[in-house]
Amino acid sequence: MSAVISASAAEGADLTPWPAEFVERYRAAGYWRGEPLDALLRDSARQHATRTALVCGTRRWSYAELDARVDRIAAGLAQRGIAAGQRVVLQLPNIGEYVLMVFALFRLGAQPVFALPAHRRSEIGYFCAFSEAIALVIADRHGGFDYRALAREVRADAPTLAHIIVVGDAQEFTAFEAIDAEPVALPAPDAGALAFLQLSGGSTGRPKLIPRTHDDYFYSVRASADICGLTEQSVYLCALPAAHNFPMSSPGILGVLYAGGCVVLAPDASPDTAFALIARERVTITALVPPLAMVWMDAAASRTNGCHELASLQLLQVGGARLSDEAARRVGPLLGCRLQQVFGMAEGLVNYTRFDDGEALVVGTQGRAISPDDEVRIVDDEDRDVPEGTAGHLITRGPYTIRGYFRAAVHNARAFTHDGFYRTGDIVRKLPGGYLVVEGRDKDQINRGGDKVAAEEVENHLLAHPAVLDAAVVAMPDAYLGERSCAFIVPRGEAPRATEIARFMRERGLAQYKLPDRIEFVAQFPKTGVGKIDKGALRLAVSEKLAAHAAVS
């Protein structure tokens, strides 16, 4: 037996296949059609050639233009040696080049890794190295940050990274505009193969990568477009970061392009920017996380004489974190459109409230699953089903839910049941008709208004500080974001200043949203009966402290 085991073989498969009987079932039901994701654009370009597909600022692409440009970029990438099966880390803001690059990579069969603009050296370096990416695609600058400087740092630790492609001023790197060649016939990617890697919100030390296939994702896009009633008249405002699963496929950018509608990219989600775009482009549908929905409602309420800018808006989707019933009730009256709650996850399962649902379901639940073949179980600690209406752990499998993370055999053994159900880490109640109410979470994660922070990842960075003996990161309640993070730290001697810890964390190249919002120094941690840190007690301690403070002030 060879003593040499490649890192990937030791860590597990890139893609954990569905068992043959499920593959057969999903194909027979028509969910998996054997079509690669770029076919979605190709078909719409045939049917809607002259219609506007994409708007970014003053730039507009018709379907025919978008499709032709994607052909040229795919050929240009191939010419530079980027091939099917290779990974490309994509870190772009909401700009047209993002959509072009995603489809060019799909067409080529190369696999985008969907990073967010907020990610920094710690995350991007890890994605490039762990996925063995051949290329990194960035913007020159965005939001006051220079991504070329980040790329220089990352390159040093990512030996496979042969290309850095920059939208804008490329400096020593390859300019996006230079990726251009006469279209060539490319072999269609295998629809059952890994199409791209999404990022998991995660609860572990390193973000897990989520391998999605063309077949499974295409199904979720088609079904989502159908549930949301998209047509070629739909105009979708993408105000959330485009690479997130919600604005990408629920039904998002891909769903709208599938339906022949128009995608409008917003540079940010502030009411000033978004309302003006909604008015200018006659936007009909958009998606937000709960804190932004609240900001929009406040802004609409403060506009005198009602909010005419939003007159065209028919549907606001809200998801990513729990929307309170009270906020849900205000959406219709304040924004003059319908609300749809969306409870989804990059690993697969997505739930929507439906158009024919009554007010009680739309306001008080997070919807029901997309597919009749989504198996949604609510179980106790021993994986036994609990009675309907009782809160328990949500586990699921189905035609668009992964069976394993990318190269993560050890973690997969915990994150999935032996028969392939994904353990979502959400505590949920299931009502008659399959409607779900999210009650909480048993994963070690902070949901900062839709941005997921894995406690262990932040703790590991804190532990690297010489003055930190032990660290535990927990969620604390927050009126705006729902939750923020609080780091409890046992110092080694004299407690360092909180500002010093923040500086240290930033220098380690961690995305800003993962930095602890509050730091509490303690002499020791409360422990559970088995001697583990009692995070429940820490959560209680900080929320009581905040409540006491609020009562005084």
* Positions that interact with ligand OOB (CB under 6 A): 201, 245-246, 250, 319-322, 341-346, 350, 366, 424, 426, 438, 441, 447, 452
Burial class (CB in 10 A: 0-12, 13-18, 19+), 522: middle
The answer to whether the CB of 411 falls within 8 A of the CB of 418 is no
Query: Which residues have C-beta within 8 Å of that of residue 196, sequence separation ≥ 6?
Result: 105, 106, 111, 112, 113, 114, 212, 217
Straight-line distance from the first to the last Cα atom of the chain, in angstroms, rounded to the nearest whole number: 69
* Nearest distance from C-beta of residue 322 to ligand OOB, angstroms: 4
Exposure class string for 318-335: b at 16+ Cβ within 10 A, else e = bbbbbbeeebbebbeebb
* Nearest distance from C-beta of residue 181 to ligand OOB, angstroms: 35
Smaller CB separation from ligand OOB, 113 or 166: 113
* Nearest distance from C-beta of residue 52 to ligand OOB, angstroms: 25
Report the DSSP beta bridge partners of residue 348: 345
Name the closest residue to ligand OOB (Cβ). 344
* Nearest distance from C-beta of residue 321 to ligand OOB, angstroms: 5
Tokens of residue 298, six digits: 């406040």
Smaller CB separation from ligand OOB, 164 or 339: 339
Smaller CB separation from ligand OOB, 24 or 325: 325
Tokens of residue 276, six digits: 């003006």
The SS3 assignment for 19 reads: coil
CA dist., res. 70 & res. 495, Å (int): 55
Smaller CB separation from ligand OOB, 122 or 447: 447
* Nearest distance from C-beta of residue 504 to ligand OOB, angstroms: 27
* Nearest distance from C-beta of residue 172 to ligand OOB, angstroms: 34
CB-side neighbour CA atoms (13 Å) of 102: 28
* Nearest distance from C-beta of residue 344 to ligand OOB, angstroms: 3
CA dist., res. 371 & res. 289, Å (int): 23
* Nearest distance from C-beta of residue 452 to ligand OOB, angstroms: 5
> Strands (DSSP E) along 219-354, which ranges?
235-238, 262-265, 285-288, 315-319, 338-345, 348-352
CA dist., res. 241 & res. 117, Å (int): 8
Smaller CB separation from ligand OOB, 255 or 344: 344
